[in-house]
Amino acid sequence: MAKVLVVFSSDYGNTQKMADAFKAGVETVPGAIATLRHAEEVTQDEVVAHDALIVGSPVHMGSPDWKVKQFIDKVCSPLWMKNRMIGKVGGVFCTGSGYGNGGGGAELTLLALLNNLAELGLILIPLPKNTEGYAVGGLQWGPYGRSAGTHMEQVGVLPESLKTSMHHGANIARAVQAIEGKTIFVGET
Amino acid sequence: MAKVLVVFSSDYGNTQKMADAFKAGVETVPGAIATLRHAEEVTQDEVVAHDALIVGSPVHMGSPDWKVKQFIDKVCSPLWMKNRMIGKVGGVFCTGSGYGNGGGGAELTLLALLNNLAELGLILIPLPKNTEGYAVGGLQWGPYGRSAGTHMEQVGVLPESLKTSMHHGANIARAVQAIEGKTIFVGET
Amino acid sequence: MAKVLVVFSSDYGNTQKMADAFKAGVETVPGAIATLRHAEEVTQDEVVAHDALIVGSPVHMGSPDWKVKQFIDKVCSPLWMKNRMIGKVGGVFCTGSGYGNGGGGAELTLLALLNNLAELGLILIPLPKNTEGYAVGGLQWGPYGRSAGTHMEQVGVLPESLKTSMHHGANIARAVQAIEGKTIFVGET
Amino acid sequence: MAKVLVVFSSDYGNTQKMADAFKAGVETVPGAIATLRHAEEVTQDEVVAHDALIVGSPVHMGSPDWKVKQFIDKVCSPLWMKNRMIGKVGGVFCTGSGYGNGGGGAELTLLALLNNLAELGLILIPLPKNTEGYAVGGLQWGPYGRSAGTHMEQVGVLPESLKTSMHHGANIARAVQAIEGKTIFVGET
């Protein structure tokens, strides 16, 4: 089994599309299921009930949407206090307009999310360069859905970004299954 | 089995002490062995021959020692090109004087190293809050050996930082064993 | 003249104390005044009416409080769209418990805030090493008020952190006065 | 007057082109001159003799070229010890292939450099969104010269990236002139 929770916010539907692709990717792995939740509706119980947490956000001013940070602070922080998330699996993704032909804050957004997941004690799954679609939709930390072309003409999230998201969802489901039942972290209780 | 390679540089011996503690921690896990290598002497073949790569550095101007970056650029970068490191396990640590009662660049040093490992496609092992010694020697990304007290009086790396490093070494060895023989990433060849 | 706006959130009063110290520091500079505003109450008009924006936050899960990000997204982002903040002066600060004897996320919190200010086009004032109190209360990006001792015993923000904040407030006021009336950025309108 | 030093490394000439554009931009400002130096040849005396330091690097494995870090550690670190750089002006730029349609490490490369400059106590000049060429060649931290198209076809650094670099060079020269003779930081000696 592998129960994967995908938590995200979306302004215009691009991040939602990426989240849908993650779900589809997770569910290509036999025995794995994914649940999607908006950042504003997810509960502590839901987070704890899953084996993996994937967080996605649009890039806002070079960092995650405040609603995603609210989820981290209100829902995840109490679980951090109680060491309830340690040893689960984590992954991240984001979308953005692509200012500067370089992401316009995508890396720092992914990093901020990954940092939150590291605090929780999640095993972090990166996105390897040989993943299908990586050249267009992959950064080292996770999939990036760029919504504009070189000169900022709006094109929407490209198919490669969705493809990469599918593969990353499957990667994360396989990671959950690989470590299922194993104890990796030995900590104080 | 779990073969763990610890690559580091050290100015005054503090980072070396942390590396030694990692090795001791790895080898508390049955079937796991660790090899220590200075950043300037390690070869591509050695890196490829191990299941996990742990990188440690003193904090220099808020980022890793240039000799560690030289190792990343000269030894690891060609392996990145050939997708030779994907799916191995990675971890990081650092030492520093603790300027500002807050690490003086420790976080960005750990992050820079972790970023390099993410590029390589390594599964990243964070340091959970409930690890023994964490309050004194643990940051979310990995162990931190602070060498000065609150007012910058030199005290050397505290025992808790070495304790945390031991545990993190063992965490990483167990992570290697957990995923041994499993395929997590499916990529283009 | 130099009108400095300090926007912050505070959980237990430590960040508020740092904000108060900033205000006191700003107002040691002849002709400079500082206004304090909670992140949840400040308006676009107030932000635009000031020459400098200083943002402070407690460290929550290794990044700024969601209420501070909400301020960035709701109040600052529309000003970014209209290029209304370009050429003003910016600075940052944070408080935290000091997990890991190293800040426990302080650097990434400061960095996240500084990144938001860079997006806005603010000239960023770092905190030099020779500032009074720096060894205890200063990181390269700005003052850090650590609230716990080496072993996480609660001690509250140390006097050095407040001293550093005062000096940094004065630095920022002087930076505003230095560039007053000068055009540094030439952009499209 | 404004004497600007541009320190860089270059693999295939793209970063050199950006450096040349910076120099041209600096020298559009009356009274300003720029000097270019390879990271491996620059001396402490040269760094101290200039009013501004601009550092540029290709993106290697998501962070600056090791030769640039060697410059920071060997040439700049002793100047940091002696507080010799405080109050000068700093800026950064980078080039890269653009993996993931998002920079492939450009942001973290710029950030790493900016962090080094913040440690030195340099006033950091960001790149405003309304700068000519920004949509194609500008990130919040500084110009980005992307050398590949959406699908990683090699196109070389686009004219917009060079245009943005010119403007940023001029911004930095004007910043130097604006604060010339002013004392912003008051520190211990």
Closest approach of chain B CAs to the CA of C158, in angstroms? 10
Q: Indicate if the pLDDT at residue C189 is higher than 80.
A: no
Beta-strand pair C123-124/C138-139: unpaired
The single-letter DSSP state of residue C75 is I
Please state, in angstroms and rounded to a whole number, the distance separating the CA atoms of residues A27 and C187: 49
Q: What contacts C150, CB < 8 A, 6 or more positions away?
A: B136, B149, B150, B158, C101
Stated length of chain A: 189
Q: Indicate if the pLDDT at residue C155 is higher than 80.
A: yes
Beta-strand pair C32-38/D123-124: unpaired
**Cα torsion angle, C68, C73, C74, C78, sign:** positive
Q: Phi first, then psi: what are they for B127, rounded to 5°?
A: -110, 110
| Contact between C105 and B108 using a beta-carbon 8 Å cutoff | no
Q: Please count the residue pairs, one from chain B and one from chain D, whose beta carbons lie less than 8 angstroms apart.
A: 73
The more confidently predicted of residues D86 and C103 is D86
**Mean per-residue pLDDT, C117-127:** 98
Closest approach of chain C CAs to the CA of B81, in angstroms? 30
Domains and CATH numbers, chain C: 2-179 (3.40.50.360)
* Max intra-chain CA distance, chain A: 54
Chain A interface residues (partner C, CB cutoff 8 A): 60-66, 69-70, 72-74, 76-77, 80, 105, 108, 111-112, 115-116, 118-120
Q: Indicate if the pLDDT at residue B189 is higher than 90.
A: no
| Contact between A116 and C61 using a beta-carbon 8 Å cutoff | yes
Closest approach of chain C CAs to the CA of A80, in angstroms? 8
- For residue D9, give the nearest of D55, D53, D61, D76 by alpha carbon: D55
3-state helix, strand, coil in chain D (%, to 5): 40, 25, 35
Chain B interface residues (partner C, CB cutoff 8 A): 62, 96, 98-108, 111, 129, 134-140, 144, 146, 149-152, 158, 161
Q: What per-residue string of b and e applies to C112-148 under the rule 16 or more CB within 10 Å gives b?
A: bbbbbbbbbbbbbbbbbbbbebbbbbbbbbbbbbbbb
Q: What contacts C2, CB < 8 A, 6 or more positions away?
A: C26, C29, C31, C32, C33, C51, C52, C173, C174, C176, C177, C180
Chain D interface residues (partner B, CB cutoff 8 A): 60-66, 69-70, 72-74, 76-77, 80, 105, 108, 111-112, 115-116, 118-120
Q: What contacts D107, CB < 8 A, 6 or more positions away?
A: A102, A103, A105, A106, A107, A108, D139, D141
Closest approach of chain B CAs to the CA of C60, in angstroms? 13
Q: Number of H helices and number of E strands within chain B?
A: 7, 8
Q: What contacts B177, CB < 8 A, 6 or more positions away?
A: A182, B1, B2, B29, B31, B32
* Interface predicted TM-score of the whole assembly (ipTM), two decimals: 0.96
Please state, in angstroms and rounded to a whole number, the distance separating the CA atoms of residues B39 and B19: 12
Contact B17, B155 (CB under 8 A): no
* pTM across the whole model: 0.97
Extract the tokens encoding D163.
């245009």
**Mean per-residue pLDDT, C128-147:** 96
**Which residue out of B14, B63, B99, B101 would a mutagenesis test of the C interface target, given it has the greatest number of C Cβ atoms within 10 Å?**
B101
* Closest alpha carbon within chain D to A109: D107
| Contact between B130 and A189 using a beta-carbon 8 Å cutoff | yes
Closest partner residue to B118 (CB to CB) among A86, A141, A182 is A141
Q: E strands within C32-113?
A: 32-38, 52-60, 63-64, 89-96
Ranges of residues in chain A whose predicted pLDDT is under 70: none
Please state, in angstroms and rounded to a whole number, the distance separating the CA atoms of residues A74 and A62: 22
Contact residues on chain C for B111, CB-CB shorter than 8 A: 108
Contact residues on chain B for D61, CB-CB shorter than 8 A: 72-73, 76-77, 80, 115-116, 119-120
D123 — alpha (psi -120 to 50), left (phi > 0) or beta? beta
Closest approach of chain C CAs to the CA of A135, in angstroms? 26
3-state secondary structure D12-48: CCHHHHHHHHHHHHHCCCCCEEEEEEECCCCCHHHHH
| Contact between A137 and D108 using a beta-carbon 8 Å cutoff | no
Closest partner residue to A137 (CB to CB) among D96, D98, D100 is D100
Please state, in angstroms and rounded to a whole number, the distance separating the CA atoms of residues B60 and B70: 14
Please state, in angstroms and rounded to a whole number, the distance separating the CA atoms of residues A15 and A142: 13
**Which residue out of C40, C59, C61 would a mutagenesis test of the A interface target, given it has the greatest number of A Cβ atoms within 10 Å?**
C61
Q: What is the pLDDT confidence band of residue B188, given thresholds at 50, 70 and 90?
A: confident
**Per-residue pLDDT tens digits for B3-41:** 999 999 999 999 999 999 999 999 999 999 999 999 999
Please state, in angstroms and rounded to a whole number, the distance separating the CA atoms of residues B13 and A42: 47
**Cα torsion angle, D138, D141, D147, D150, sign:** negative
Please state, in angstroms and rounded to a whole number, the distance separating the CA atoms of residues B102 and D63: 23
Ranges of residues in chain D whose predicted pLDDT is under 70: none
Percent of chain B having pLDDT more than 70? 99
C-alpha distances in Å from residue A41, one per residue of A8, A36, A92, A112, C94: 10, 10, 19, 21, 29
3-state helix, strand, coil in chain B (%, to 5): 40, 25, 35
The more confidently predicted of residues A150 and B56 is B56
How many CB atoms neighbour CB B44 within 10 A? Answer: 15
Q: What contacts B91, CB < 8 A, 6 or more positions away?
A: B52, B53, B54, B55, B124, B125, B142, B168, B171, B172
